[in-house]
Structure 1
């Protein structure tokens, strides 16, 4: 396992049917093949909002099948990664401060924002995984949390923000065929902002981007990006960015990026 600085990732995670897509699972698998092997993985998913910041299970517990109305086989997916109690203790030390408590939720398993991409990227499930909650949707606060977590990268921890680069389920009902204009416009704007390391623009995406409120009626699927940006900014890695996956899935931008 690596002892060098790990990159930090933001990925678009898809819904459970991602596993059946003819392209996307292979893209995720190819991405993970280029990464140093992590000592552990820290996941921040759009699908767990809880304050104060919560640390999930540190031993194996059942997955959280936080979706409804899908075929039965999606509820039989397993991902039995080892728990990460040492990583949990490191997270507590880095984030706990006066006025900023950290709570433990020991029965909270990985949700689909965590395990769906991990099944494709690390299918052996042999790397310890810890999930923490989004304690806020305030981009500036999340950026600071990412900065606080950045030292973990030097301990071989892969920090992953898991969201969706555009996320408005109206795209699933788009009647015009192809990609909705708002999704394409926001994706192009976000790509340019990331390429320019324009964190200020990204922080104010609702005001500064085209169709920002359409692309994200709520911020939760864009929010994990700011944890990733903070973890990159703290080590001067914003310029060491590459877009690993782009394109669209059911009208939603699946842009995914790596820093470092």
Structure 2
């Protein structure tokens, strides 16, 4: 296999609500520019390794189907959302490569002959690669995952990702407390003023990334302001650590900053070689 021109930075992208697919707002516009900017700077990814908090299993698992149709894993949304389709090819051969590489490092990842992309993945990819022609390999989030576990998994994956021209897309949400998104009349407007706790948490993450403070980020539950308010449960925040582990903090950059409904932070980050250049290209 010919070497890939450059390793990709590892990405953490906030996907927000399923309504992103119909009401993209500034975050969706960022995602539309993300795919072309990545390919202009680093080349076409051979495969996109995608992790989302909506694909949960007892142990990390790679889905090895030949194709991955969009799964509408939500209820109570407009009918137009359920009519959206996205079906990229899979990458079963890469699953074998990654499983073997992790096993050599004492880490186990299961493989399951199943397919489908939850909305945390397809709602991002349909903007970044609307033609659905880049192969995707879904990786599940383990039920008992911790920041340290995912950082270690990302670091273990990094050499294989670079060798095989794989882009890591870890999809989640920089803040995720749905109760904060509602007012007396229901959902707060998409452009509602940002709440103080959301701003404090976003600013803290940006400062710790800029400082290269891995220990502080791993201990976010104790150190970050409003951590429990912004993440009553942390499954939407955990994908951040897979990307951080894969790319490291020696070069990291915030690619997009924004808030929907006053409390749903849509910030996205890149980690590793070229992160700063990618951020510059997206400005």
Matched residue count: 256
Which of 180, 190, 205 is the matching residue for 1:171? 180
CA shift for structure 1 position 30: 1.2
Comparing 141-150 and 172-181, the one that deviates more: 172-181
CA shift for structure 1 position 99: 7.3
165 and 156 in structure 1: CA distance in 2 versus 1, 3 angstrom threshold: same
Q: Give the equivalent residue in structure 1 for 2:96.
A: 89
Q: Structure 2 regions of 5+ residues with no counterpart? A: 274-283
Q: Give the equivalent residue in structure 1 for 2:278.
A: none
Comparing 112-121 and 33-42, the one that deviates more: 33-42
User: In the alignment, does 2:37 pair up with 1:28?
Assistant: no
Rounded Cα–Cα distance in structure 1 between residues aligned with 2:4 and 2:31: 20
Rounded Cα–Cα distance in structure 2 between residues aligned with 1:187 and 1:174: 22
Q: Give the equivalent residue in structure 2 for 1:225.
A: 240
Aligned-residue CA RMSD in angstroms? 1.9
Which of 224, 227, 247 is the matching residue for 1:209? 224
> 1:47-196 to 2 correspondence within 5 Å?
47-96=54-103, 100-135=107-142, 136-151=144-159, 152-174=161-183, 178-196=193-211
CA shift for structure 1 position 8: 0.8
Q: Give the equivalent residue in structure 1 for 2:214.
A: 199
Deviations along 1:112-150, one digit per CA (max 9) or x if unpaired, are: 111100000011111100111112321111111001110
Rounded Cα–Cα distance in structure 2 between residues aligned with 1:98 and 1:200: 23
Q: Give the equivalent residue in structure 2 for 1:252.
A: 264
CA shift for structure 1 position 16: 2.3
Q: Structure 1 regions of 5+ residues with no counterpart? A: none
The answer to whether the 8 Å contact 2:18/2:119 transfers is yes
User: In the alignment, does 2:50 pair up with 1:14?
Assistant: no
TM-score, normalised with respect to structure 1: 0.92
Rounded Cα–Cα distance in structure 2 between residues aligned with 1:200 and 1:61: 36
